[in-house]
Amino acid sequence: MSTLSSQVVVTFPKDLSQESNRATILIADSDEDYRQLYSDLLRSEGFHTFCAKTVDQALAVLHHERIDIALVDGMMPKTNGMTVCRELRSNPETRLVPILLLTSWELAPGRAMGIDADADAYLKKPVNNIELITRVRTLLEKKRFTDNLENTEKMLLTLAELVEAKNPYNAGHGFRVSRTAVSLAARMGLSADDREWIRRGALLHDIGKVGVPDEILLKLGPLTAEEKSVLNSHTYVGARICAPLSSYRPLLQIIRNHHERLDGSGYPDGLRGKEISILTRVVSVADVYDGLTTRRPYRGSFSDMQAIHQIRREAEQGWWDLRILAALGTMVSFQCVPGRA
């Protein structure tokens, strides 16, 4: 430890906002000297720190405190620091907390460990003070960016719910489509990341209806061609509303293209086949299924099997993906449609 202890503690100019210096950092390291060193260094820069000697202590901090960055020693004894990383990633509340993994390994094994831990960055011990502070500040910027996106998404979800609430026949539509689409995606073996995009995209898919006048949205009779055109605009209007989430490309595709059909007869872009992402195709089928099985002012609701038959006819016509229809058939035949008795 003498090398580390003798390192000069560098003080960075306070040109960043005070906000950044109030971030809270978890230091999970079994070595007391290292813990003290990192904590002193980070506190001298204005950060709050929580130190954990063991994995259990680290997990307790994660459960009770709001952490902005986790500094984790990959070689903590017993279950080791990887457990802390996995716990962070598996908890929805902390899955986006940046992890800075500290390792005693040489470059290649250290990088492999970082990938395995799904860490955002890693540093080899002994850590250079300047590098540590620089990494922490970079990760903090990343965290702030993700937090802003998350807050924007929450706001948009509220807006989507308000739009649904305007039409009694549409109440809970986004939520049901989301649950059905995620279930279909799981049956098709899509990855956890894909399922997450589907969940979020389905919740927001009709948000553009906020731009559709009530007299069209709530009209009981058939729509004129002009009214249909206004209603159909909810696809690209929705994508425009969600444009601040520009780094969420799969989500924006779902919102814009959930009324496309495989044969190119959909809207707004007339996309065909694989031009429509698989995530969007799953949401489209879940959307149609929910529409059919929900009561409308001009008709009663279809039974599950009637809906399947209708979607099969449309799939044979070239509109929908047959693999998704197969997954829907399995889901319905096992009577496990999410949200239904």
Residue with the shortest CB distance to Fe ion:
206
Q: Which of 73, 120, 206, 304 binds Fe ion (CB under 5 A)?
A: 206
- Pick between residue 135 and residue 173 the one whose CB is nearest to Fe ion: 173
| The two structure tokens encoding residue 134 | 């620089």
Residue 318, phi then psi, degrees to nearest 5: 100, 15
Query: Nearest CA to 71 among 43, 92, 109?
Result: 43
Question: 118 or 269: whose CB is closer to Fe ion?
Answer: 269
By CB under 5 A, which span of 96-104, 155-163, 198-206, 333-341 interacts with Fe ion? 198-206
> Nearest 5°: phi and psi at 338?
-55, 135
Q: Which amino acid is at 103?
A: T
Distance of CA 163 to the CA centre of its chain: 22
Window contacting Fe ion (CB under 5 A); options: 121-129, 195-203, 206-214, 269-277: 206-214
The stretch near Fe ion (CB under 5 A) out of 19-27, 117-125, 161-169, 203-211 is 203-211
Could you tell me the smallest distance in angstroms from the CB atom of residue 229 to Fe ion? 14
**Nearest-approach distance from CB 232 to Fe ion, in angstroms:** 9
Nearer to Fe ion, 153 or 206 (CB): 206
CB atoms within 10 A of CB 84: 29
Determine whether 209 is an active site residue. Answer: yes
Q: Which helix (H) or strand (E) holds 102?
A: strand 99-103
- Pick the closer one to Fe ion by CB: 73 or 206: 206
CB 277 within 8 A of CB 257: yes
Please spell the DSSP secondary structure of 210-264, one letter per residue: GGS-HHHHT--SPPPHHHHHHHHTHHHHHHHHTGGGTT-HHHHHHHHHTT--TTS
Which of the residues 96 through 155 are near Fe ion (CB under 5 A)? none
CB of 136 to Fe ion, least distance (A): 43
Q: What is the DSSP letter of 51?
A: E
Stretch of 2-10, 199-207, 245-253, 316-324 lying at the interface with Fe ion (CB under 5 A): 199-207
260 binding Fe ion? (CB under 5 A):
no
- Catalytic, out of 14, 143, 166, 209: 209
Q: How far is the CB of 158 from Fe ion (least distance, A)?
A: 18
Minimum separation from the CB atom of position 291 to Fe ion (A): 9
Size of the site for Fe ion (CB under 5 A): 1
Q: What are phi and psi of 11, to 5 degrees?
A: -100, 125
Residue 282 three-state SS: helix
* DSSP-derived secondary structure for 297-334: TTB-PPPHHHHHHHHHHHHHTTSS-HHHHHHHHHHHHT
**Cβ 96 vs Cβ 139: under 8 Å:** no
Q: How far is the CB of 209 from Fe ion (least distance, A)?
A: 7
So which residues are the catalytic ones? 209
**Which stretches of the chain bind Fe ion, using CB under 5 A?**
206
